[in-house]
Amino acid sequence: MKKTKLSPSLTVLLYGPPGTGKTSLTRAFSKKYKIPMCVVESDRLVSPLLGDTIKNIRNVVELAADVAKENGSFVLFFDEIDAIGSERSNIHEVGEIKRAVISFLQVIDKVNYEGIPLAIFGATNHQHQLDSAIWRRFTFHLNFDFPNYELRKEIIESFLEKIEKADIGIDDTIYKRLDNEYKEIKEIHKNLEAKLGRNISEFEDNLLWNEIEKKKQLEGFLKLTLGYSGSDIERGTRVALFKVIQTGILTYNIFYNSLELVGGTAVHVKRQDILSNNRKLGTRSEKYKASRPNTSGPPEL
């Protein structure tokens, strides 16, 4: 990089629903390559006092830059980066936030220009709210989606292993029914792809699950956890642990009911998207009404 006279920089934007592993991946990256890491809760940088938000952003980045120079590398992770990087054209944003966006863009440019060995990661659950200039400042964009049934099986099994390590018994039917459900879904998935002549995602227009409904009457963990994040499954596991703390054995029904109780993030994300769209429609409607001439006038006598 030095020979090409191009400043080395690593900026990564991770976006997607909450609980899908954005922070976990960054921590794993930091641990794997033995690079120190600082997690910044972006909303805590925002201050009601004029100018303090900009000062906080600059102080955090400058301090991280000093550490990076001393250490040779450093990872600065902005969680919920939309708090300081929201769209400047949004009519609901105050001037302080708009100035904060500009300040954040400037400090990223400075780090890149000076070739400081500082990796800047940003994570958001509201990527549609980010300013377009924020997107351009990040070289890599990683989209996080909900885990598919293959990954959900691995996640469930990983939590079951942790339960076993805690000397809590696990009913054998849990593993058997999980394996059988997985095999049936996998077979239908494989046959559907052969019929369509292409690869299909579990989340593609419900093609797979519509096919499953035609072929089988499946009721199991993988069907239940469609639209669950890894964090949702973890919360369900915790609920199950509270239920079996006295009996010392986890049964299929207890685990299933516990997962069902916590629910999946996808439902809440979808609901938020609907509410957000409704608010946008309402704003457009108000603008439209304001732009129309007032033809009502006083009633004729």
Residues 126 and 96 in one domain: yes
Question: Contact, 54 vs 103, CB < 8 A?
Answer: yes
DSSP 202-242: TTSTTHHHHHHHHH----SHHHHTTT--HHHHHHHHHHHHH
pLDDT at 290: 44
Residues 163 and 129 in one domain: no
Residues 193 and 98 in one domain: no
Residue 80: Cβ within 10 Å count = 18
pLDDT in tens, the chain (301 residues): 667 777 667 899 999 999 899 999 999 999 999 999 999 998 888 887 768 888 999 999 999 999 999 998 999 999 999 888 876 655 545 566 778 888 888 888 888 888 888 999 999 998 888 888 899 989 999 999 999 999 999 999 999 999 988 888 999 999 999 999 999 999 999 999 999 999 998 987 789 999 998 887 888 999 999 999 999 999 999 999 999 988 899 999 999 999 999 999 987 665 444 344 444 445 444 444 444 444 334 333 3
Domain for residue 63, yes or no?
A: yes
Residues 131 and 238 in one domain: no
pLDDT at 99: 81
Please name the residues in contact with 46: beta carbons below 8 A apart, sequence gap of 6 or more. Answer: 53, 56, 83, 84, 96, 97, 100
The tokens for 254 are: 């207890």
Which of 10, 70, 77, 4 minimizes the C-alpha distance to 37?
77
CATH at 63: 3.40.50.300
Residues 37 and 72 in one domain: yes
User: How many Å apart are CA 91 and CA 72, to the nearest integer?
Assistant: 42
Domain for residue 98, yes or no?
A: yes
pTM of the predicted structure, to 2 decimals = 0.77
Report how many domains make up the chain. Answer: 2
Helix, strand, coil percent content, the chain, rounded in steps of 5: 60, 10, 30
pLDDT at 292: 45
Residues 84 and 160 in one domain: no
Residues 214 and 113 in one domain: no
pLDDT at 141: 95
Domain for residue 48, yes or no?
A: yes
Please list the alpha-helical segments (H only) found in 8-81.
Answer: 22-32, 52-71
Burial class for 111, CB neighbours closer than 10 Å (0-12, 13-18, 19+): buried
Domain for residue 225, yes or no?
A: yes
- Provide the 8-state DSSP code for 75: E
User: How many Å apart are CA 45 and CA 184, to the nearest integer?
Assistant: 49
Residues 21 and 136 in one domain: yes
pLDDT at 16: 93
Residues 22 and 136 in one domain: yes
User: How many Å apart are CA 82 and CA 42, to the nearest integer?
Assistant: 8
Which of 13, 10, 109 minimizes the C-alpha distance to 68?
10
Domain for residue 270, yes or no?
A: no
The helix or strand, by DSSP H or E, that contains position 179, with its residue range, turns out to be: helix 172-196
Residues 120 and 102 in one domain: yes
Strands of the sheet containing 74-79, edge to edge, are: 37-41, 74-79, 118-124, 10-15, 140-143
Residue 231 belongs to what domain range?
Answer: 149-265
Question: Contact, 76 vs 69, CB < 8 A?
Answer: no
